[in-house]
Amino acid sequence: MAKRTQRYKKVLQIDKILGDVVENIVDKKKSPLLRIEMAWNNALSSAIAKNCTPERFRRGVLTVKCTNSIWKSEMLFYKDELIERINKELGEELIKDIFFV
């Protein structure tokens, strides 16, 4: 009988852990960077999304990591258009500038 009780205690602990994980996911949905990442993938082509990814967002400036210098220089030409498209997808003017690394 003692083994059965211990088994149920383990199930309750797993339930608590899953609850904590779900709460963390919900909190991340409120995160501006997560919202930007989702908008980035929806608003831009798959080639851009594959080669350039949002890394950090702070005080209206989005830092985007590019796979190489060619993509970085190409993105500099479309910077204003990118800001406009992503903000439109977000439904608010969250991004003021983009910094490519």
Q: What is the CATH number of domain 31-100?
A: 3.30.300.180
Query: pLDDT tens digits, residue range 4-24?
Result: 656 555 555 666 776 666 666
**How long a stretch of residues is the chain?**
101
Contact 43, 93 (CB under 8 A): no
Give residue 52's pLDDT: 94
Question: What value does the mean pLDDT take over residues 85-90?
Answer: 93
pTM exceeds 0.75 = no
Q: Where are the domains of the chain?
A: 31-100
Compare 26 and 68 and report the one with higher pLDDT. Answer: 68
Task: Please tell me the distance from the alpha carbon of residue 4 to that of residue 14, in angstroms, as a whole number.
Answer: 16
